[in-house]
């Protein structure tokens, strides 16, 4: 079974703090993604990564950065947390179609981190 | 750009009955995948079923089936024999064969199964 874990289920931080959200997958997946989910706005892509040390901006990268030093770990960093970053953060991973030979690959999600910035 | 539309914000179904959740999509790309995810109140996004754009047969996974009508660009989820544990948000999503391969999600349908 695919397992994606996230470092915290709930997190409370103060405005201006630097926040690290960690995501680890155990299935040797090449692709990893960070989404945020907000009521009325749905799920939006923040950043994604195709390989170690590679990263690409998603739809809403402002105020965030990412790090992928090892294949199994993809970290989301809030450089200076703000109240409008209060949200549910979901990490996902998938194989690369180059590896699987499929048209597209299923993304598997972690349990999510509910972040509250005060 | 691709788009997913789920027109049912909420649905009720009686336990043991079947229910269909609607999903339409829009893309000009011929190669794509369609997914359904379940999100219970705990927040985790659980993968249910996948349909590739070139698949000739509708996908099935246990009590879940995907009614894929390519010409109409619809990918409805059918849940047979509903259970109380099926109460959750359900999201339809799409990923393309090209580009960044991230998922585009619909707005979701909240399903409530009544005893």
Residues B17-29: tens digit of each pLDDT: 999 999 999 999 8
Q: Report whether B33 contacts B95 (CB < 8 A).
A: yes
What is the Cα–Cα distance from A49 to B34, expressed in whole angstroms?
A: 21
| Contact: B46, A109; criterion CB under 8 Å | yes
- Whole-number pLDDT of residue B101: 77
Give helix then strand counts, H and E, for chain A: 1, 11
User: What stretch of H or E contains A20?
Assistant: strand A19-25
Q: Is A101 on the interface with B (CB under 8 A)?
A: no
The pLDDT score that the predictor gives to residue A90 is 97
Tens of pLDDT, residue by residue over B55-113, are: 989 999 999 999 999 999 999 999 999 999 999 999 999 998 777 778 999 999 999 99
Name chain A contacts of B42, Cβ cutoff 8 Å.
111
Under-50 pLDDT residues of chain A: none
């Amino acid at each position: 079974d695919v397992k994606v874990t996230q470092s915290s289920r709930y997190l409370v931080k103060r405005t201006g703090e630097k926040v690290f959200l960690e995501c680890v997958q155990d299935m040797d997946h090449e692709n990893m993604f960070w989404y945020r989910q907000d009521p009325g706005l749905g799920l939006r892509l923040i950043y994604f990564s195709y390989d170690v040390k590679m990263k690409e901006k998603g739809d809403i990268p402002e105020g965030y950065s990412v790090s992928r030093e090892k294949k199994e770990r993809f970290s989301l960093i809030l450089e200076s947390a703000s109240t409008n970053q209060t949200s549910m953060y979901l990490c996902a991973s998938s194989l690369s179609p180059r590896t699987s030979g499929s048209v597209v690959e299923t993304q598997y999600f972690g349990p999510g981190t509910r972040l509250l910035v005060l | 750009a691709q788009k997913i539309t789920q027109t049912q914000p909420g649905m009720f179904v009686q336990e043991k009955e079947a229910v269909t959740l609607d999903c339409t999509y829009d893309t000009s790309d011929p190669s794509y995948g369609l997914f359904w995810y379940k999100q219970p109140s705990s927040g985790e996004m659980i993968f249910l079923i996948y349909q590739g754009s070139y698949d000739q047969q509708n996908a099935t996974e246990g009590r879940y089936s995907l009614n894929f009508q390519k010409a109409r660009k619809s990918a409805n989820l059918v849940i047979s024999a509903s259970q109380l544990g099926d109460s959750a948000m359900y999201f339809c999503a799409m990923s393309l064969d090209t580009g960044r391969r991230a998922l585009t999600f619909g707005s979701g349908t909240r399903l409530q199964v009544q005893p």
